[in-house]
Amino acid sequence: MSIIYEPSGRAKEYSQLAANLYRGCGHACTYCYAPDAIRERREKFYNLPIARQNILKELEKDCIRLGGKETRPVLLSFTSDPYQPLDEELQITREAIKLLKKHKLSPVCFICIGFPNDTEESIRKDIKTLLDLKVKLRVQILWAYPGVDFQGQGLSAETLKQLQRDAMYGSNSVAWRKKPKPVKKDVASLPL
């Protein structure tokens, strides 16, 4: 069983390699695409997330096979938040990152912030844990939609954006190192 895999279709635009450590995600976002993508019942996906069988052992086999040869980053993950509540107990993501780094592979963690229970302190703590592991981070803010409170415990949009920036600068993430292209001004719109 291969844990590190090449996503197909449009997923490849986000990352050329990925590893899914969990099946299911306790964050239970109602709009989540993952249950459909992995053909899992939504209720089970949200309420009974599990670590994939022998995940660290199987991942290590892939690390040994690819280590030193593969330069493409490995995204954690496409089908769950790698830092979901279950991971606080199992700590698999942390061990997976250590394994990848030990074998000279480049893990990238994709995490979401702005869940209803999030506080500025809890987000900073989680981000620090990942930055201490020297992993690159991609941080998605969960914006509020009508009727859904995704702004955490009184977190303003400014605070969330600042937390996102701090995390991505802190991890030296490529996305934030790219300079924005200069905007060409339409001559006709310049003041005379």
Q: Indicate the residue type of 117.
A: N
Query: Cα(139)–Cα(152) distance, rounded to whole angstroms?
Result: 15
Q: What are the backbone dihedrals phi and psi of residue 75, each rounded to the nearest 5 degrees, phi first?
A: -85, 130
Which lies closer to ligand SF4 via its Cβ, residue 29 or residue 141? Answer: 29
Can you say how many angstroms the Cα of residue 53 is from the centroid of all Cα atoms in its chain? 21
The one-letter code for the residue type at 54 is: N
Total residues in contact with ligand SF4, by rule CB under 6 A = 9
Structure tokens at 130: 């990942």
One-letter amino acid at 185 equals K
Least Cβ distance, residue 178 to ligand SF4 (angstroms) = 24
The two tokens of residue 79 are 């089908």
Q: In this complex, which beta carbon is closest to ligand SF4, that of residue 43 or of residue 104?
A: 43
Site string for ligand SF4, 27-46 (x = CB under 6 A): xxx--x-x------------
CA distances from 165 to 66, 116, 135, 152, 175 (A): 31, 20, 15, 17, 11
By CB under 6 A, is residue 80 in contact with ligand SF4? yes
Q: Interface with ligand SF4 by CB under 6 A: which range of 21-29, 56-64, 129-137, 149-157?
A: 21-29
Task: Specify whether the CB–CB gap between 77 and 111 falls below 8 A.
Answer: no
Q: Is the CB of 80 or the CB of 173 nearer to ligand SF4?
A: 80
| Window 103 to 162, contacts with ligand SF4 (CB under 6 A) | 112
Q: Which is nearer to ligand SF4, 81 or 118 (CB)?
A: 81
Kindly list the residues in this chain that would bind ligand SF4 in the complex (CB under 6 A): 25, 27-29, 32, 34, 80-81, 112
